[in-house]
């Protein structure tokens, strides 16, 4: 039986967390830099957290030498900041339509290996999945996170190696599928070595995802059968 590695994006594919991430950025910036941030990272881009934090520090006129010393401290502080705002995240955020059933369908398919590939730090990703009750549907230990690399396309190979070690099956471009909502997810697949199922659950339309190179697109995750069919088509 052919095995297929399914790499779920998290933000705006599975869950929407409102302004929580930006609130955490704001709080950590003020704590470490000693003044409020005037500009925050753009929402819904899919850019990895280390790149977003570096840009945040640059855009708010932190000296280059300071950025290098602040960056690791900033990254270390983010998961704790997110955990502190868990209640806010749950009250202002939500699971996207169809996500639980789609996740369950993929997790229960005997030929599919489900995990995550996300621009979140590992600890933050696990907080989000647990908070919204989605952890049981993915094998988080074989996932890939921006804690592993700030270069998102490199994360495909990270998860492929982990999945191969765990399941004793080689995973390549031919049997790896990313499910995500952003242009960054499409680029990750194209450059990293995976097929891409684009879902217009975020700020990017199906047309935009398709034009950017998504191999297949869906309007939402609300039809689990369509998700399974698309994954199998991409890896056939």
pLDDT score, position 183: 96
Distance (Å, whole) CA 109 – CA 90: 29
Question: Is the pLDDT score of 77 beyond 90?
Answer: yes
Residue with tokens 């957290």: 49
Residue 44 pLDDT grade (very low, low, confident, very high; cuts 50, 70, 90): confident
Residue 21 has pLDDT above 80, yes or no: yes
Judged on CB neighbours under 10 Å (0-12, 13-18, 19+), 3 is: middle
Task: Please report which confidence band the pLDDT of residue 43 belongs to, taking 50, 70 and 90 as the band edges.
Answer: confident
pLDDT at 1 over 80: no
pLDDT for 177 beyond 90: yes
User: Positive or negative, the Cα torsion across 95, 97, 98, 103?
Assistant: negative
Q: What is the pLDDT of residues 146-167, one digit of tens each?
A: 999 999 999 999 999 999 999 9
Given this model, what pLDDT does residue 45 score?
A: 80
Distance CA 153, CA 72 (A): 21
Write out pLDDT tens, residues 113-123. 999 999 999 99
Band (pLDDT 50/70/90 cuts) for residue 110 is very high
* SS3 of the chain: helix, strand, coil, percent, to 5: 55, 15, 35
Strand ranges for 13-169 from DSSP E: 15-16, 94-95, 112-116
Local confidence band at 2 (pLDDT 50, 70, 90 cut-offs):
confident
Task: Tell me the average pLDDT of the chain.
Answer: 97
Output the pLDDT for position 46.
85
Residue 42 pLDDT: 83
Asked if residue 96 lies in contact with residue 15, where contact means CB atoms within 8 angstroms, the answer is yes
**Residues 15 and 103: beta-carbon distance below 8 Å:** no
pTM of the model: 0.96
Structure tokens at 230: 């698309």
Rounded average pLDDT over 54-81? 96
Sequence-ordered strand ranges (E) for 63-202: 94-95, 112-116, 176-180, 195-199
């Amino acid at each position: 039986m052919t095995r297929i590695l399914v790499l779920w994006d998290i933000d705006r594919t599975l869950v929407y967390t409102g302004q929580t991430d930006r609130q955490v950025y704001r709080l950590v910036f003020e704590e470490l830099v000693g003044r409020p941030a005037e500009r925050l990272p753009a929402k819904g881009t899919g850019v990895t957290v280390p790149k977003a934090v570096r840009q945040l520090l640059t855009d708010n006129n932190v000296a280059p030498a300071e950025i290098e010393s602040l960056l690791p401290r900033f990254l270390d502080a983010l998961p704790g900041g997110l955990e502190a705002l868990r209640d806010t995240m749950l009250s202002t955020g939500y699971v996207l339509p169809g996500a639980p059933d789609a996740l369950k369908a993929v997790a229960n398919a005997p030929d599919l290996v489900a995990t995550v590939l996300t621009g979140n730090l590992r600890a933050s990703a696990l907080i989000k999945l647990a908070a919204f009750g989605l952890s049981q549907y993915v094998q988080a230990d074989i996932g890939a996170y921006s804690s592993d690399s700030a270069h998102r396309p490199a994360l495909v190979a990270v998860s492929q190696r982990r999945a191969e070690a765990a399941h004793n099956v080689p995973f390549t471009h031919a049997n790896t599928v990313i499910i995500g909502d952003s242009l960054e997810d499409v680029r990750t697949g194209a450059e990293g070595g995976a097929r891409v199922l684009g879902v217009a659950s975020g700020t990017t339309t199906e047309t935009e995802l398709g034009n950017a190179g998504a191999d297949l697109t869906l309007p939402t995750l609300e039809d689990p059968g369509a998700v399974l069919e698309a994954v199998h088509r991409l890896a056939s």
